[in-house]
Structure 1
Amino acid sequence: MRLEQFEQSVWPHLSLDRRGPRPTLALHKIFNYILQALYMGCQWKMLPIDRNAEGHPEIHYTRIYRTFRRWQADGCIDAIFFSGSVQQLHQDQLLDLSVIHGDGTTTAAKKGGDNLGYSGHKHLKGDKVVALCDRNCNVIAPFISAPGNRNESPLLRDALPSLTAMARAIGAGLHGSIVSLDGVYDCRANRKAIFNRGMTPNIPENPRGRKTPKRGRKQRYDPAIFEERFRTIERVFAWEDKFRRLLLRFERISDVHYAFKTLAYTMINLRHYC
């Protein structure tokens, strides 16, 4: 990340050490080392750290890890995502909230850890997240995480309050917006939760193994809007795969993995300024 972009979007939301000597390395350089770990997917001790004049590494990898954990515990990563990317995109009129696309994705965990479950559909043990994005492939709300054996449909009702809180904080209106989801989220509770927030669901009816069509009035559904999902939320998940740290979950602590995922979504949102 360039220094100008770092000072604008990242530096105002970082916390500093309260004790001990001041770091000799700039926070911009430390943040770029964290991004290298996110993009390369290597171990912390394998980071390509530059050498100083004496031929020694300019910083020890454990200090980079401790700095990242402190920023994650202090809420700096979440603040960078919200204030540094989402709010900035809204101020620059780069958000298109007329249609909101949502979907879930599952990550396999090879080394175990917390917040995990075996997904019989994916045939793997891991965790899943439900993310929401706008029509311009910008992740607009903090994602909802759960073990891999959880059904995605109830998770949407946990994601909607975060969506409305985000819109209220940045001053954006969601009244009349269309929420496009796949058939997994087709249930009365999800449709009611979307309607109660002034939005319109665009969800194809899930037959659930019925041999005959369901009786009653057909739900509103626009196939053209549904087809946008493959150019928006599926593209976001494809961009997420370029961050090799997120292809497989090797962090046993889920908060560390989710901090990396939040940072990846921030980088996807900041692509407009690169």
Structure 2
Amino acid sequence: MSVEQFEQFVLPHLSRGRRGPAPTLGLHKIFNYILQSLYMGCQWKALPIERNAEGRPEIHYTRIYRALRRWQADGCIDAIFAGSVYRLHQDQLLDLTVIHGNGTTTAAKKGGDNLGYSGHKHLKGDKVVAFCDRRCNVIAPFVSAPGNRNESPLLRDALPRLSHMARAIGMDLQGSTVSLDGVYDCRANRKAIFNRGMIPNTPENPRGRKTSKRGRKLRFDPAIFEERFRTIERIFAWEDKFRRLLLRFERLSPVHYAFKTLAYTMINMRHYR
């Protein structure tokens, strides 16, 4: 990330220390080291750090990790993501006529908190549910849960966050279509979407029924549903570009979710590179 991009998108949301001497290394360089760790997926002690004039590393890797933990605890990472969505909305780069949502599961090989065994994926890890628009921009903070949790109830926890994000940046979601997979097909989810002024577009889940369900057919547009593979699934494919998110090696879930938030922020900022 260049200095101009850092000062425009990141620096206004970062907290700074109030005591002690001024750091010898700028926040721009520290933030770029965090992004480098996100892209490379290496251990913190294996992070390639530049040498100073004396031939020593210009910063110790533990200071970079502590900076990430401080910004995560202060809410700076979430503020950077919200700022990217606000900038996209101001520049009219969002297409909110259709909102696509889905969940993804990340395997955890070394253990940690907030984990569960997914019998469908045959792995132990955690899952997240995220929303995006028709232009492959992540617009809402994701909801995290252990891998053994069903995704359908998680949607009712994610919708309030979507509404909160819309109110925070001035987005209007009235009349938007929410396109979801068949796993989210239930009366409670449809009611939650209708109560927020949006229209659900979810294929009917037969749930093992041998005959069709009686009553009026639910509203469903196959053309909108097919867009999911060019939007939300593409975002999850872009997420795999960040090697630190292919497998979860972070034992602390807040650190792992902070990296995911940074990855979604970088996906949103592709318009300004």
Q: Which string of whole-angstrom CA distances, capped at 9 and with x for unpartnered residues, describes residues 159-205 of structure 1?
A: 00011111111111111000000100000000000000000000000
Identical residues among aligned pairs (%): 85
Q: Which residue of 2 aligns with 1:3?
A: 3
The 1-side partners of 2:262 and 2:241 are apart by: 13
The residue correspondences of 1:171-250 to structure 2 (distance < 5 A) are 171-250=170-249
The DSSP-based 3-state class of the residue aligned with 2:25 is coil
Deviates more, 1:11-20 or 1:90-99: 11-20
Q: Does 1:57 align with 2:57?
A: yes
Q: Which residue of 2 aligns with 1:252?
A: 251
The 2-side partners of 1:172 and 1:73 are apart by: 27
Q: Which residue of 2 aligns with 1:140?
A: 139
The 2-side partners of 1:232 and 1:176 are apart by: 20
Q: Does 1:106 align with 2:105?
A: yes
The 2-side partners of 1:225 and 1:3 are apart by: 40
Paired residues, number: 273
Q: Which residue of 2 aligns with 1:22?
A: 22
Q: Which string of whole-angstrom CA distances, capped at 9 and with x for unpartnered residues, describes residues 77-121 of structure 1?
A: 0000002x0000000000111000000000000111110000000
Q: Which string of whole-angstrom CA distances, capped at 9 and with x for unpartnered residues, describes residues 242-269 of structure 1?
A: 0000000001100000000000000000
The DSSP-based 3-state class of the residue aligned with 2:105 is strand
TM-score by length of 1: 0.99
Return the offset for 1:19. 2.4
Q: Which string of whole-angstrom CA distances, capped at 9 and with x for unpartnered residues, describes residues 10-67 of structure 1?
A: 0000011122221100110000000000000000111110001111001111110111
Q: Which residue of 2 aligns with 1:153?
A: 152
The DSSP-based 3-state class of the residue aligned with 1:226 is helix
TM-score by length of 2: 0.99
Deviates more, 1:12-21 or 1:172-181: 12-21
1:139 is aligned with what amino acid? V
1:130 is aligned with what amino acid? V
The DSSP-based 3-state class of the residue aligned with 1:176 is coil
The 2-side partners of 1:19 and 1:113 are apart by: 33
Q: Which residue of 2 aligns with 1:123?
A: 122
The DSSP-based 3-state class of the residue aligned with 1:192 is helix
What is the alpha-carbon root mean square deviation over aligned residues?
0.5
2:137 is aligned with what amino acid? N
The DSSP-based 3-state class of the residue aligned with 2:64 is helix
The 1-side partners of 2:252 and 2:20 are apart by: 26
1:27 is aligned with what amino acid? L
1:174 is aligned with what amino acid? L
The DSSP-based 3-state class of the residue aligned with 2:141 is coil
Q: Which residue of 1 aligns with 2:45?
A: 45
The 1-side partners of 2:240 and 2:53 are apart by: 37
Moved over 6 A (4+): none
Return the offset for 1:140. 0.3
The DSSP-based 3-state class of the residue aligned with 1:140 is strand
Structure 2: stretches of 5+ with no match in the other structure: none
